[in-house]
Amino acid sequence: MNTPAKNTTKTRTRSKKGEFNPVGGQRAELRASEERNRQLLQQCNVAMIVTRGLEQRNEFVNDRFTALFGYTIEDVPDVAHWWRLAYPDEVYREVVKAEWQARVEKALNSGIDIEPMEATVRCKDGAFRYIEARLSCIGETSVVTLVDLTARKRAEESLASVSRKLVEAQEQERTRIARDLHDDIGQRLALVSNGLEELKLNSDLPAEVSGRIGKLQGETSQIATDIQSLSHELHSSKLDLLGIAVAIKGFCREVGEQQHVEVICETHDLPGNLPPAIALCLFRVLQEALRNSIKHSGVKQVEVRSWGTPKEIHLTIRDSGLGFELKAARNSRGLGLVSMEERLKLVQGTLSIDSEARRGTTIRARVPLSP
């Protein structure tokens, strides 16, 4: 008995009018949801880009992106990846691209928003803007937010310019005072000391008078020595002529002898051709930090270390003394913290302080060689 062959022809199920089509309904709902999301993104007051996947295929940009950078919707395919706007050259763009893609990969794998990233971008009219790029990932979809920091950055640059001019004026005044102390007052005191020495050696004077003159001569000589040290602190000729390593060692030795403390100083791998602004900044930070450490820690030993790497210079001042409460010190504007921080900002450096009561203080300064 032959079994009838089964009909293998596939049939399509068509929804009758008025019947619910699950697939069609889901698609319609998805399209409606996407349209709502687009409208929400259009209403945002920041530039936004929606991308998909690790390669960040561009799917949508809002009007704020167009308004901020000057590119129309027709231009967007050519600048879909915002790092293509990066200024000023191809090398910079590649650096921004590599860093951003690494962050995207990390965010996609972890599902956690990454730290924002700053960059400089070029608008269609050639103007430059500072932006902060933020990233949020939902599955393979990424929402990139570009926040315009131009106004804030320009205000910071203006403030930095004022700070730089104040520091330059301060250094010029330090140099003038140091020169006057060394070349004028110091020399005159040396002449007075020599004159007193000659009077003391005069055998016709009574012993009591000779002794008094000798005492005055010793005090005058000590004042001359102190003025010479003050002149060196105000302006270090060693820093100008012999470099940062010699200046650091010389200052630590002088301070140790004057204050009767042991300053353990170690330097290595410091470049001999360090930019003058960086060398002067580190030397001033050392002066302020070491002076405060000796004054406030209550210890008789302080460690100073400075070393270089291909990318940055480090300076550390450490003691095991009384320590202090950092917040209170900042509020009181004491310990020269403001001065050290402001100087380091001018060379894109950073300052960190670790201090605990009865456990000492460690001050760390770091300055990049290529900001």
22's CB contacts (< 8 A; 6+ apart) are none
Closest among 220, 225, 223, 230 to 177, alpha carbons compared: 230
C-alpha R_g of the chain: 35
Mean pLDDT is lowest, of 50-54, 165-169, 278-282, for 50-54
Return the domain boundaries, the chain: 38-148, 150-235, 236-371
Distance CA(226)–CA(7), nearest Å, equals 111
Q: Would you say 221 and 227 are in contact if contact means Cβ atoms under 8 Å apart?
A: no
Give the model's confidence band at 150: pLDDT under 50 very low, under 70 low, under 90 confident, else very high. very high
Q: Is the pLDDT of residue 330 over 70?
A: no
Give me the count of residues in the chain: 371
Q: Helices then strands (H, E): number in the chain? A: 11, 10
Tokens of 52: 């998909």
Half-sphere exposure of 311 (CA within 13 A, CB side): 1
- DSSP 8-state secondary structure symbol assigned to residue 84: G
CATH number of 236-371: 3.30.565.10
**What rounded mean pLDDT belongs to the chain?**
81
Which string of b and e fits 60-98 if b means at least 16 CB within 10 Å?
Answer: bbbebbbebbebeeeebeebbbbbebbbeeeeebeebee
The residue that leads in pLDDT, 31 or 21, is 31
Distance CA(219)–CA(192), nearest Å, equals 11
**pLDDT at position 371, please?**
56
**What is the percent of the chain where pLDDT is above 70?**
85
Q: Would you say 60 and 49 are in contact if contact means Cβ atoms under 8 Å apart?
A: yes
**pLDDT at position 22, please?**
56
The residue that leads in pLDDT, 224 or 328, is 224
Distance of CA 27 to the CA centre of its chain: 50
- DSSP 8-state secondary structure symbol assigned to residue 181: I
Q: Is the pLDDT of residue 322 over 90?
A: no
Q: Is the pLDDT of residue 18 over 90?
A: no
Tokens of 334: 């004491």
Highest-pLDDT range among 176-190, 194-208, 297-311: 297-311
**pLDDT at position 184, please?**
86
The structural architecture, per CATH, of the domain 38-148 is 2-Layer Sandwich (3.30)
